């Protein structure tokens, strides 16, 4: 800390102090809301990391939290774009997204009810909305529109009971039990996706951007939870999530060039099925001499048996 203060911060103070003392009011108020008065004064106004050493850890945690929330607002947009463009749910597991949706909805309600800082859980709001959209599209592109409607109704009802209802339908003790279950759901939500990738031998329409951002986000959340939230249920969920996200990231790397990755499996299969002389060679050989050179059987009249319209083998050789 002392080295950081003496070698880096102090030489920059003449330049930085006029800026930190004249921040726009909205930005200054935002810094106070994140850090509190004591740490705001020490880190922002005084540019001192030695007098209140715990403030630096808090500032790092808050910065990571803001970065995670910002990234979460778009983390699954590439996945949504891939789904809409391809009109295909290949490589995606509805079960995985449904379980993750349930897990995130419970986690959001648990954090809100306990009054934890938004910077420690805010990404669940954005990812939850994107998960609902992706799960619905998976069902629609799988021609299960009635199931998609039922899914949306179920999520809306659960959100009302957990977040909006004030009649005490779900007590605080029940909410804690649900949070424990949400950790298990979060773990379970990754398994169907991992198994789907393994069984298909590729990642299909799964977005690499989403997978690797999830990995970094879950790792960062372990740090922010240790710094700001004294709750083993939440910490355990993030640790388990990081481990399974690491498996998904490993699969993404392993299957990067697989034919079924990015939806190219059918294209490769169709391309291979058109190779050979049946589809291409005969069209390029117009004379008896060329046919003989190609080794194609001929009738006494000099016609190719492979090319006779009435031959039962014609369709097979033509591909």
| DSSP-assigned states of every residue in 160-190 | IIIII--S-SS-HHHHHHHHHHHHHHHHHHH
The verdict on pTM exceeding 0.85 is no
**Tokens found for residue 187:** 């773990």
Asked if residue 190 lies in contact with residue 241, where contact means CB atoms within 8 angstroms, the answer is yes
Top-ranked range on mean pLDDT: pick from 104-113, 234-243, 257-266: 104-113
The percent of residues in the chain predicted with pLDDT above 70, rounded, is 81
C-beta neighbour count of 319 within 10 angstroms: 12
Between CA 108 and CA 103 the distance in angstroms is: 9
What residues does 298 pair with on adjacent strands? 304
pLDDT digits (tens, 9 = 90+) for 129-141: 999 999 999 999 9
Token pair 């909205």 in the structure block, residue: 26
Q: Which of 48, 37, 59 is nearest to 13 (CA)?
A: 48
**Tokens found for residue 188:** 């379970």
pLDDT score recorded for residue 200: 85
pLDDT digits (tens, 9 = 90+) for 201-224: 888 778 788 888 888 888 888 988
Where does the pLDDT of residue 281 fall: very low under 50, low under 70, confident under 90, or very high at 90 and above?
Answer: very low
pLDDT digits (tens, 9 = 90+) for 115-162: 888 888 888 999 999 999 999 999 999 999 999 999 999 999 999 988
Q: Is 85 helix (H, G, I), strand (E, B) or coil?
A: helix
């Amino acid at each position: 800390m002392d080295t950081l203060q003496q070698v880096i911060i102090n030489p920059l103070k003449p330049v930085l102090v006029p800026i930190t003392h004249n921040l726009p009011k909205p930005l200054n108020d935002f810094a106070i809301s994140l850090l509190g008065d004591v740490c705001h004064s020490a880190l922002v106004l005084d540019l001192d990391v030695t007098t209140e050493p715990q403030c630096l850890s808090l500032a790092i945690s808050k910065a990571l939290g803001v970065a995670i929330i910002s990234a979460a607002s778009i983390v699954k947009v590439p996945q949504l774009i891939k789904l809409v463009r391809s009109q295909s749910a290949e490589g995606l597991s509805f079960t995985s997204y449904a379980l993750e949706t349930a897990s995130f909805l419970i986690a959001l309600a648990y954090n809100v009810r306990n009054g934890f800082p938004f910077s420690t859980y805010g990404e669940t709001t954005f990812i939850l909305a994107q998960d609902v959209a992706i799960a619905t599209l998976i069902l629609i592109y799988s021609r299960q529109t009635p199931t998609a409607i039922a899914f949306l109704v179920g999520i809306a009802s659960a959100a009302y009971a957990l977040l909006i209802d004030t009649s005490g339908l779900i007590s605080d003790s029940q909410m804690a039990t649900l949070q424990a279950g949400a950790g298990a759901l979060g773990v379970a939500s990754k398994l169907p996706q991992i198994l789907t990738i393994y069984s298909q031998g590729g990642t299909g329409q799964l977005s690499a951007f989403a997978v690797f951002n999830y990995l970094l986000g879950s790792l960062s959340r372990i740090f922010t939870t240790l710094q700001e939230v004294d709750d083993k249920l939440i910490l355990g969920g993030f640790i388990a999530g990081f481990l399974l996200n690491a498996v998904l990231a490993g699969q993404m790397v392993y299957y990067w060039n697989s034919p079924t990755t990015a939806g190219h499996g059918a294209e490769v299969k169709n391309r291979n099925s058109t190779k050979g002389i049946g589809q291409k060679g005969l069209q390029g050989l117009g004379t008896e001499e060329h046919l003989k050179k190609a080794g194609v059987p001929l009738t006494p009249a000099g016609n190719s048996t492979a090319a006779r319209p009435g031959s039962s083998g014609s369709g097979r050789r033509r591909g």
